[in-house]
Structure 1
Amino acid sequence: MIQPQMPETKNWRFHRDVENLGWLTMDTPGAPVNTLSRQAIMELEQLVERFEELAQTGELVGVILLSGKDSGFIAGADVSEFDAMSDFSVLPEALKRTHALFARIEALKIPMVAGIHGFCLGGGLELALACHYRVVVNDDKTRIGFPEVNLGIFPGFGGTGRSIRQAGPVDAMGIMLTGRMLKAGAAKGMNLVDKLVRHRDMLAWEARKAVLQKRKAVGAAPFQKLMAMGPLRSYVVGKMRDQAGKKARKEHYPAPFALIDLFEKHGDDWKAMIRGEIDAFVPLMGSDTASNLRRVFFASEALKKQGTKGVKFARVHVIGAGVMGGDIAAWCALRGMSVTLQDLDMERIKPALDRGKKLFKKRLKKKHEVDAAVLRLEADPEGKGVGRADVIIEAVVEKLEVKQSIFGGLEDRLKPGAILATNTSSIELERIAEKLKAPERLIGLHFFNPVAQLPLVEVIRSTFNTDAEIGKGAAFALAIGKSPVVVKSAPGFLVNRVLMPYMLGAVERVERGESKELLDAAAMAFGMPMGPIELMDTVGLDVGKSVATELGHAVPEGSKFDALVKAGKLGRKTGEGFYKWVDGKAQKGETPAHADLAGLGRELVKPLVDMTEVVVAEGVVANEGLADIGVILGTGFAPFLGGPLKARKDGKA
């Protein structure tokens, strides 16, 4: 069969079959995922022009758009081009050109059907929404959404209006404002996609039928559109602003609020919404917030490239069923590992199993998945799982002699190649390992509380370790969905070293009579996710005191801090610390008025920033970029500022 002459492209493959169906496959060269680079968009422009010509002559009856990548459909626009694209002299024209291209796709006289598997995000979803029909693989790997808000922007290729057209204003705005990714069934329920298939090998057949039957996607139901009309839109906008304000401050993260403003103006007309996108989008792309969030994105992506390749982990043994040990064990089971959890007796292990089941129910939803996770988390008071485990993690009390005795009894029971790790939060590994026959085998895997929420794991390297042990430790962190940052064994490592002066400085101010509510509010006004006093309660006052002592910060006898620890009022886990806690929430009094909350916040955060500089100077982390991303992931330090050292360079901390 003679193929029509097509433009030469690097990102796309095209062929026409005997039914005059066009098969367009995206396959970004030399990359694990497809992205809509400027080159890819220009090539697609040439292809669409050719489709128009072939449709006119009857040589093409439809186009099926697929991905050549196993990872998924299209992961979005090419973020590596965003810095260059943020130039105001370039961006508006580039956006207009893409808008025009997607409008031409929508206006094609022949059907264009998207066949989606895996990731379909951002600009990829916007392209799919410009197609006439969408077929999606209904499996656990499929994820559909608009993550742009996490980069300080919102959809800019027409996705605002087209998602509202398909899903209705409330659902569409909800996924754009939160950046959450949908599974295939949820996307179908929202009308973002039209047909589900069970396997990827069914995509082509179902997409072919969609073209031949000239199927067209159906828009949102009339009752859904009512929420964008007249007074109802004002009500919806008010609710959206309230919700957005609870999650972030407008001055810190302007994108959600700019999107809500756009909806307030044009929410009842999806085409007007698209036309208004560019003017609202351009200032966001060039903002400091977007620039810093891109920096955080690239640093986070770089962490995923660490670790020894090809290492497999199936079994984990955790020693210590306290809050940290139990939650580490539950997280590993949630991520598919078989886990044995050891402590002195079942009485100590059972609360950890109960917390694990709560986590599974919250994260997994389906009963059979919860039941499977429960079976993967096994009580093991006698430590029988040690010899079978690929990873052994000690998470007992922060006492050197206790840790040394545990590891001394484990060494001869390990299987070859197993990782031996401690979750110590402050003790140098060299001291823990000094009595081991093979001290090079012990690494640190330092998790953070709450384990299910904080993504960082510090992979701690002692003077004994080789690259092989550290590489395996980083690979394990990645295998359980965490972000590894390699740090040198030194008191407090990275995160606790920088956190402690910040938290203790705030505690000292409370000891002098300042309002804990005011200090917490000031830190949050600066951009921290939680204030230092609430954080101390969350970490646990006993843990805080232990780490402070290990780092040389004495907790004075007779201080309020000391009295609370002696009274067993250890914070959130005991129901009372500096605050009283009810249902996991700190009960706070009124916050006194203050003329400059954010300024007070900068003052509070200064010891953290100062110590981050010291840690880099001492070589605890390899460079400033790793220090910034480590502190962001481990403490929640304001991502919109790019990290403590970037914030200081910019004069904002």
Structure 2
Amino acid sequence: MAPQPQLTETKNWNFHTDVEGLGWLTINTPNSPVNTLSREAIMELETLVARFEDLANSRELVGVILLSGKDSGFIAGADISEFDAMSDFSVLPEALKRTHALFQRIENLKIPVVAGIHGFALGGGLELALACHYRVAVNDDKTRIGFPEVNLGIFPGFGGTGRSIRQAGPVDAMSIMLSGRLLRAGAARGLGLVDKLVRHRDMLRWEARKAVLQHRKSKHAGLFKRVMGMGPLRGYAVSKMQEQVAKKARKEHYPAPYALIDLFEKHGDDWQAMIGGEIDAFAPLMGSDTASNLRRVFFLSEGLKKQGTKGAKFARVHVIGAGVMGGDIAAWCALRGMAVTLQDLDMDRIKPALDRGKKLFRKRLKKKFEVDAAVARLEADPAGKGVSRADVVIEAVVENLEIKRKIFAGLEDKLKPGAILATNTSSIELERIAEGLKDPARLIGLHFFNPVAQLPLVEIIRSTFNNDAEIGKGAAFALAIGKSPVVVKSAPGFLVNRVLMPYMLDAVQRVEAGESKELLDAAAVAFGMPMGPIELMDTVGLDVGLSVATELGHEVPERSKFSKLVTAKKLGRKSGEGFYKWVDGKAQKGPVPDHKDLAELGRALVKPLVDMSKVVVSEGVVANGDMADIGVIMGTGFAPFLGGPLQARKDGKA
């Protein structure tokens, strides 16, 4: 006689059995757009697993299929909102042991347990899937699988270190964990993290059912892959991992990847021992200042995504100005799926931007048809015919007030109703640009940062004319193209350039006085900046730097090296020479002179930036210190592990 259907509801899970004896377990975190493994969800799962064990022993259950009830994806990971409380040493080790034991019970079940994955399967969600016996995933562009924990100052702590090594082998598994990169479904299957792919989400249930009834089991990594975790070869792998990590992160700033490598060095030949060693290595990281600050940055970043007018749609963008910024803004919008028209005086000025756009598409898009589609979306438009069709019009010409006013004088009457009218000005107040407009309230600032494809921030600049509706649409557009909007008041330099310029000019003055530019740049990096102030000035462009400095009232003597370089058209990276010579996009640097304390020198270098961050908050350029911190991090790369300039100042670290 077939077993009778049984139903169990908890706050986070739904479980029922069908007439075939299949158990269908669905996670659906309440009041959340994504599923997370909270402590409550894990305790409920313990109760459910105990039931699975009983039903399996009585042969009333032939297998369990784990699915998500969310459209957004499988499981986004552990509940990060609980991490601060969990960092307590009196709580964390026991909680980890409890979760380890639970996942091992799942793996020990005598019946098949199959995970059906769509969308995101990240962190603890992937660790739970790896504890299942078999994994089916949807092979579409929305599926992303990986361990992003390193971005929060930790590494996988629910057994994922050992189980990923078991499935993918030590080199691939460690690479995924150390980089935090997310895999597409096909790549995850190629590494053994996923066993079977289906084309559509509605095929998951059928394929998972077959996997249970056929008692499928995931294959572990073969000997060829496992050998890199054995004997002397493990030592070689460890040294290579340390070398690669050191290129991107200093141990004193980001201890998590180094702690993970240490764990691998001890237990890389035994995936179960690797899991057993997780807890002692993980707990100190969770309570570290780095992890605490990175969690703060995460929540501030997530908060930015809640801005913007709901339901706003953007299909067409028109960019005026095909220079480095305008061309790269246009290419980015096309990459993100929008139809873009790019205007300048003639095709000779537009073509280099189109060529750069094509390089970006080839780098970011995997398939030829995707590259071709993006190229087709980016259209040269010397006559400006795209203005009347555009949902967003962005001016991105040189930082000259009169030129900008002339451009906007001819635009206003051509716009379609409701279209955003924006300037990418980096320092000029909007009120001055908007003076001649019939409706100055319509002009907002959308200030992107160079390089556009790498820096996530867009400053949404609000003038005294603007209303909430226009600013809301601007924020919504930034989000629609995958950028993070921070609203700033129209004031000279706004937020990022206002705080950057004293920092960069102070460093330039030191170079003018005879200090080594290589030493200054190395000191800033030792402090935690992604690049030093002199290299940054070259990257921004010395002409742009001089223009912003002048706009902000900073005196740059005509006889200075800085002014002479600009006069000689040696503008930095874009011209091939500035303070440095540039080859293939890289600054050619000489040796770094010895210094007794690089980090301390770096702290002195960033002090003007930190001090000015406090000033802009006091002047109301941004809403509060949190917005200053996240804006400066996203716009300048300011050391995320310090939590931003004001947080670092508060902690006495800057």
When the two structures are superposed, what TM-score results if normalisation uses the length of structure 1? 0.99
2:502 aligns to what SS in structure 1?
helix
For the 8 Å contact 1:136–1:195, the answer to whether it is kept is yes
1:328 aligns to what SS in structure 2?
helix
Deviation at 1:557, TM superposition (A): 1.1
Deviation at 1:324, TM superposition (A): 0.1
Q: Tell me whether 1:284 sits opposite 2:300 in the alignment.
A: no
For the 8 Å contact 1:3–1:15, the answer to whether it is kept is no
Show the counterpart of 1:232: 233
- Give me the whole-angstrom Cα distance separating, in 2, the residues matched to 1:577 and 1:160: 46
- Give me the whole-angstrom Cα distance separating, in 2, the residues matched to 1:137 and 1:372: 23
- Give me the whole-angstrom Cα distance separating, in 2, the residues matched to 1:497 and 1:12: 50
Show the counterpart of 1:469: 470
Show the counterpart of 1:201: 202
Show the counterpart of 1:190: 191
> 1:208-223 maps to which residues of 2 (within 5 A)?
208-223=209-224
Deviation at 1:5, TM superposition (A): 6.2
- Give me the whole-angstrom Cα distance separating, in 2, the residues matched to 1:91 and 1:236: 30
- Give me the whole-angstrom Cα distance separating, in 2, the residues matched to 1:67 and 1:489: 45
What do residues 117-160 of structure 1 show as CA deviations (whole Å, max 9, x unaligned)? 00000000000000000000000000000000000000000000
Show the counterpart of 1:80: 81
- Give me the whole-angstrom Cα distance separating, in 1, the residues matched to 2:593 and 2:337: 47
For the 8 Å contact 1:332–1:480, the answer to whether it is kept is yes
What do residues 5-58 of structure 1 show as CA deviations (whole Å, max 9, x unaligned)? 666510000110010000000000111000000000000000000000000001
Paired AA for residue 16 in structure 1: T
Deviation at 1:207, TM superposition (A): 0.0
1:592 aligns to what SS in structure 2?
coil
What do residues 525-555 of structure 1 show as CA deviations (whole Å, max 9, x unaligned)? 0000000000000000000000000000011
Paired AA for residue 110 in structure 1: I
> 1:130-145 maps to which residues of 2 (within 5 A)?
130-145=131-146
For the 8 Å contact 2:444–2:471, the answer to whether it is kept is yes
- Give me the whole-angstrom Cα distance separating, in 2, the residues matched to 1:136 and 1:411: 49
Q: Tell me whether 1:271 sits opposite 2:272 in the alignment.
A: yes
- Give me the whole-angstrom Cα distance separating, in 2, the residues matched to 1:48 and 1:627: 46
Deviation at 1:3, TM superposition (A): 5.3
Show the counterpart of 1:154: 155
For the 8 Å contact 2:8–2:16, the answer to whether it is kept is no
- Give me the whole-angstrom Cα distance separating, in 2, the residues matched to 1:147 and 1:390: 35
What do residues 90-142 of structure 1 show as CA deviations (whole Å, max 9, x unaligned)? 00000000000000000000000000000000000000000000000000000
Paired AA for residue 356 in structure 1: G
For the 8 Å contact 1:299–1:629, the answer to whether it is kept is yes
- Give me the whole-angstrom Cα distance separating, in 2, the residues matched to 1:6 and 1:434: 67
> 1:130-529 maps to which residues of 2 (within 5 A)?
130-529=131-530
- Give me the whole-angstrom Cα distance separating, in 1, the residues matched to 2:646 and 2:21: 58
For the 8 Å contact 1:333–1:339, the answer to whether it is kept is yes
Show the counterpart of 1:98: 99
> 1:1-20 maps to which residues of 2 (within 5 A)?
8-20=9-21
- Give me the whole-angstrom Cα distance separating, in 2, the residues matched to 1:228 and 1:278: 20
What do residues 551-597 of structure 1 show as CA deviations (whole Å, max 9, x unaligned)? 00011011000110000000000000000000000000000000010
1:354 aligns to what SS in structure 2?
helix
1:60 aligns to what SS in structure 2?
coil
Paired AA for residue 392 in structure 1: V
For the 8 Å contact 2:6–2:18, the answer to whether it is kept is no
- Give me the whole-angstrom Cα distance separating, in 2, the residues matched to 1:246 and 1:365: 26
For the 8 Å contact 1:7–1:46, the answer to whether it is kept is no
Paired AA for residue 19 in structure 2: V
> 1:12-31 maps to which residues of 2 (within 5 A)?
12-31=13-32
Deviation at 1:365, TM superposition (A): 2.1
Deviation at 1:2, TM superposition (A): 7.5
Show the counterpart of 2:72: 71
Show the counterpart of 1:640: 641
Paired AA for residue 330 in structure 2: A
Paired AA for residue 196 in structure 1: L
Paired AA for residue 60 in structure 2: E
Deviation at 1:221, TM superposition (A): 1.2
Paired AA for residue 421 in structure 2: L
What do residues 355-397 of structure 1 show as CA deviations (whole Å, max 9, x unaligned)? 0000000000211000000000000000000000000000000
- Give me the whole-angstrom Cα distance separating, in 1, the residues matched to 2:548 and 2:637: 19
- Give me the whole-angstrom Cα distance separating, in 2, the residues matched to 1:384 and 1:172: 51
Deviation at 1:415, TM superposition (A): 0.1
For the 8 Å contact 2:3–2:21, the answer to whether it is kept is no
- Give me the whole-angstrom Cα distance separating, in 1, the residues matched to 2:627 and 2:482: 18
Paired AA for residue 214 in structure 1: H
- Give me the whole-angstrom Cα distance separating, in 1, the residues matched to 2:510 and 2:472: 42
Residue identity over aligned pairs, in percent, reads 85
Show the counterpart of 1:117: 118
- Give me the whole-angstrom Cα distance separating, in 1, the residues matched to 2:312 and 2:569: 43
Show the counterpart of 1:564: 565
For the 8 Å contact 2:151–2:180, the answer to whether it is kept is yes
- Give me the whole-angstrom Cα distance separating, in 1, the residues matched to 2:8 and 2:215: 26
Show the counterpart of 2:533: 532
1:128 aligns to what SS in structure 2?
helix
Paired AA for residue 359 in structure 1: L
- Give me the whole-angstrom Cα distance separating, in 1, the residues matched to 2:522 and 2:25: 53
- Give me the whole-angstrom Cα distance separating, in 1, the residues matched to 2:635 and 2:616: 15
Gaps of at least 5 residues in structure 1 are none
When the two structures are superposed, what TM-score results if normalisation uses the length of structure 2? 0.99
1:606 aligns to what SS in structure 2?
helix
For the 8 Å contact 1:233–1:264, the answer to whether it is kept is yes
- Give me the whole-angstrom Cα distance separating, in 2, the residues matched to 1:371 and 1:645: 45
Paired AA for residue 600 in structure 1: L
- Give me the whole-angstrom Cα distance separating, in 2, the residues matched to 1:90 and 1:509: 50
For the 8 Å contact 2:8–2:15, the answer to whether it is kept is no
For the 8 Å contact 1:459–1:486, the answer to whether it is kept is yes
Paired AA for residue 299 in structure 1: L
For the 8 Å contact 1:6–1:50, the answer to whether it is kept is no
- Give me the whole-angstrom Cα distance separating, in 2, the residues matched to 1:461 and 1:563: 35
Gaps of at least 5 residues in structure 2 are none
Paired AA for residue 436 in structure 2: K
1:51 aligns to what SS in structure 2?
helix
For the 8 Å contact 2:629–2:643, the answer to whether it is kept is yes
Q: Tell me whether 1:602 sits opposite 2:603 in the alignment.
A: yes
What do residues 329-355 of structure 1 show as CA deviations (whole Å, max 9, x unaligned)? 000000000000000000000000000
> What's the C-alpha RMSD, in Å, of the aligned pairs?
0.8
For the 8 Å contact 2:8–2:14, the answer to whether it is kept is no
Paired AA for residue 247 in structure 1: K
For the 8 Å contact 1:443–1:470, the answer to whether it is kept is yes
Deviation at 1:226, TM superposition (A): 0.3
For the 8 Å contact 2:6–2:16, the answer to whether it is kept is no
1:305 aligns to what SS in structure 2?
coil
**Where in structure 1 do 4 or more consecutive aligned residues deviate above 3 Å?**
1-8
- Give me the whole-angstrom Cα distance separating, in 2, the residues matched to 1:398 and 1:115: 53
Paired AA for residue 83 in structure 2: F
Paired AA for residue 262 in structure 2: D
Paired AA for residue 192 in structure 1: L
2:24 aligns to what SS in structure 1?
strand
For the 8 Å contact 1:521–1:591, the answer to whether it is kept is yes
CA distance 1:371–1:3, change in 2 (3 Å): same
For the 8 Å contact 1:318–1:340, the answer to whether it is kept is yes
Deviation at 1:602, TM superposition (A): 0.4
Show the counterpart of 1:589: 590
What do residues 294-339 of structure 1 show as CA deviations (whole Å, max 9, x unaligned)? 0000000000000000010000000000000000000000000000
Show the counterpart of 2:46: 45
